[in-house]
Amino acid sequence: MKIQKLLAQKQGPLVMGIVNVTPDSFSDGGRYNSVESAIEQVAHMVELGVDIVDVGGESTRPGAAKVGLNEEAERVLPVVQAIKNRFDVAISVDTYKPELMAEALKLHVDMVNDVKALTMPNAVEILADTDAYICLMHMQGTPQTMQSDPKYTDAINEIINYLDQRLTVCNQAGINNDRICIDPGFGFGKTLEHNYQILNQLDKFNQLNVNVLAGLSRKTMIGAVTGKEPEQRVYGSVAGAVIAAMKGAKIIRVHDVDATIDALKVLNATISTETENK
Ligand code: 7PJ
Q: Model confidence over 3-15: pLDDT tens digits? A: 999 999 999 999 9
Task: Tell me how far apart the alpha carbons of residues 210 and 66 are, in angstroms, rounded to a whole number.
Answer: 30
Categorise residue 238: left if φ over 0, alpha if ψ from -120 to 50, beta otherwise.
alpha
> How far is the centre of ligand 1, averaged over its atoms, from the C-alpha of 101 (Å)?
17
> How far is the centre of ligand 1, averaged over its atoms, from the C-alpha of 54 (Å)?
10
What is residue 32's predicted lDDT score, i.e. its pLDDT?
Answer: 61
253 carries an active-site annotation: yes
Q: Is 20 in the pocket of ligand 1 (CB under 6 A)?
A: no
What is residue 139's predicted lDDT score, i.e. its pLDDT?
Answer: 97
Closest atom of ligand 1 to 60 CA is 16
The type of residue at 248 is G
Residues 257 and 43: beta-carbon distance below 8 Å:
no
The type of residue at 136 is L
Q: Residue 137: helix, strand or coil by DSSP?
A: strand
User: What is the residue with the minimal CA distance to atom 3 of ligand 1?
Assistant: 215
Helix, strand, coil % in the chain, rounded to nearest 5: 50, 15, 35
Closest atom of ligand 1 to 113 CA is 12
pTM: 0.95
What is residue 66's predicted lDDT score, i.e. its pLDDT?
Answer: 87
Per-residue pLDDT of 49-84, as tens digits, reads: 999 999 999 888 777 888 999 999 999 999 999 999
> How far is the centre of ligand 1, averaged over its atoms, from the C-alpha of 145 (Å)?
16
Q: Is 137 in the pocket of ligand 1 (CB under 6 A)?
A: yes
219 carries an active-site annotation: yes
Q: How many CA atoms lie within 13 A of 173 on its CB side?
A: 20
From the centroid of its chain, how far is CA 274? 29
Residues 179 and 4: beta-carbon distance below 8 Å:
yes
> Phi, psi at residue 127, to the nearest 5°?
-75, -30
Q: Classify residue 183 by its DSSP letter.
A: E
| CATH homologous superfamily, domain 2-276 | Dihydropteroate synthase-like (3.20.20.20)
What is residue 25's predicted lDDT score, i.e. its pLDDT?
Answer: 44
User: What parts of the chain have a pLDDT lower than 70?
Assistant: 23-32, 276-278
What is residue 149's predicted lDDT score, i.e. its pLDDT?
Answer: 86
Q: How many CA atoms lie within 13 A of 147 on its CB side?
A: 17
